[in-house]
Chain A
Amino acid sequence: MSTHLHTVEEVSKLIKEGRKLLLSGDESLLTQLPDGNWVGGTIPYFMTTGGGLFTQDRIYVNDISDIVTDFSIVSYYENDISQIVTDSFDNGFTFIILPALTKVWSKYALESPEWRNLYVNPIIGWVSGVKYEDFGKLQPKTYIGNKSSANKAAVLHARLPYNKVARAEIINVYEQGNGDNIFFEKRGFGNNECLINGEKRNLYDYLYENKIDETLPLVANYGGASLNVGSIWNKETKRADLFAPVFPETVYRVAKHRDIDYAAEFKEKLSGKDASNMVFSATCLFNYVNFGLEGKNIANVTGPVTFGEIAYHVVNQTFVYLVVE
């Protein structure tokens, strides 16, 4: 299986050979590809064995042809995205790309945690984006073969042989800090109204007044799993715009400081996991920027660097990966 960066010509050849591909790259490249058994999303940032890389000349390829026995490629709008759980194969995994800041992205992020069978088969994927300087000017896209969309999820359901099983995992270098417990009465992305020590507060005001490092996510504990909610502060509107939703009855705390050696911390956490049969991985653009990952090889992991990651839930500032064993 190939997990390299390729030219349009090389990827086109793989597509014409009927390979089943998960692709990520700049829109200018993906739009040149022929139709075929592939799903893709726009993003020009990648982790490679040569380190973090920005490129608009190469497409990142995950070729899953040799590990799946059957597959289906489906696009979903916000009104049918919940079907991805029932549409999955009995033993397999679902790979999903959501276009950032769209209704389908929002719907999936908000509602998936309540889907009864969410955890039956692994759901792994990422949130498509654009070059950071073009954020707000260009629309992130997804692709079902060579058909692009700015508002649909691109999904590949894969069936595995009976003697294989897929497992979705995360590595999160952030942990809940020891500060105030933050609660939100309503679920959502736009929530800046929260309860802190029993008092209604504005989230942006609280973070700003307490001189919280803007790069630190809020962290929630799900049965021991730390899930992040990242934000971008809008100083004009005095809002913390969230990149993952918050939910009521969940305790959030600002993450511990990020004065850490990301590479060392990442390697230590990876060493505690069985990741020897990794078939896909993605990490967050926030981590790429905040930890200066450009040009740095991190444990030889490779994959797109994205506007959000999906390991069942939409998460931020997290490394997600899929193992088939």
Chain B
Amino acid sequence: MENGNSQNISEPLLPDKQRPEWRLLVKGEKEYELSNFVLQLKVSQTATDIKKGKLSVEKAVDEIYELCEKYKHAVVKDMKVIFSSN
């Protein structure tokens, strides 16, 4: 996973919030094989709420990013899936 940091870190860093994959993720436009349970649920919720006009893409990205920050150790595998796929 790219993190822009050449040091050997113990704390995983999330990809930059400006990466387009975050938007694809929250809109549900691309289906990823995620394994973290709460991330799966949150992605499902944001995609539904964006479709219904209840949530903006930007706010959805903020919420998903915050969730991933909290669970940064638990979502390492999912981050690789999302940000390494074409």
Contact = CB atoms under 8 A, between A and B. Distances in A.
A165 B37 CA distance: 15
B40 A274 contact: no
A168 interface: yes
Given A122-B38, A249-B48, A312-B38, A223 B43 contact: yes
Interface of chain A, main secondary structure = loop
A167 B74 contact: yes
A313 B41 contact: yes
Contacts of A311: 37
B71 A167 contact: yes
A171 to B, nearest CB: 10
B71 A223 contact: no
Interface in A65-104: none
A225 B74 contact: no
B37 A169 contact: yes
Query: Which among B33, B39, B48, B73 has the greatest number of chain A C-beta atoms within 10 A?
Result: B48
B33 to A, nearest CB: 6
Contacts of B73: 325
Contact of B44 (A168, A170, A222, A325): A222
A118 B42 CA distance: 9
A224 B38 contact: no
Interface of A: 113, 118-120, 122, 165, 167-170, 222-225, 249, 272, 274, 311-313, 325
Interface of B: 28, 31-35, 37-45, 47-48, 67, 70-71, 73-74
18 contacts: A118-B45, A119-B67, A122-B38, A167-B71, A222-B40, A223-B34, A223-B40, A223-B41, A224-B31, A224-B32, A224-B40, A225-B40, A225-B41, A225-B44, A274-B74, A312-B38, A312-B41, A313-B41
